[in-house]
Amino acid sequence: MENDERVSEGALAELARVLATCEDPTLIRDFLLSIFTPAEADDIGKRWALVRLLDEGKTQRTIAAELGLSLCKITRGSRELKKSHSAFRAMINLADQASR
């Protein structure tokens, strides 16, 4: 199990480095749609949408109704967003900068 975790962590770190160097959003989207199943891609998209909606101030119940997600997933997203040095917050800031 420990070896599996090292392989997974190493592969994830490499993937993060590669994605950080890619400046082609279409290539990244195509890659993500290739690596995830349709259900996984839908789930990832909804999780990002819930983070954005939380950032906009929407209530957890409203988000649950809009996206069809459990309150447990939304609460987890809310908790991650509130952390100091939140990766969610950093990515929201990058997304906001990119849309300007």
Domain of 73, in residue numbers: 37-100
Q: Are residues 86 and 51 in the same domain?
A: yes
Give pLDDT tens digits for 34-79.
999 999 999 999 999 999 999 999 999 999 999 999 999 999 999 9
**CB distance 98 to 84 below 8 Å:** no
Name the token pair of 49: 């949408």
Number of domain units in the chain:
2
Dihedral sign, Cα of residue 57, residue 61, residue 64, residue 66 = negative
Cα 69 from Cα 74, distance rounded (Å) = 7
Q: Are residues 11 and 58 in the same domain?
A: no
**CB distance 50 to 74 below 8 Å:** yes
pTM for the model = 0.85
Give pLDDT tens digits for 15-26.
999 999 999 999
Q: Are residues 43 and 90 in the same domain?
A: yes
SS3 42: helix
How far is residue 57 from each of residues 41, 51, 98, measured CA to CA in Å? 25, 10, 21
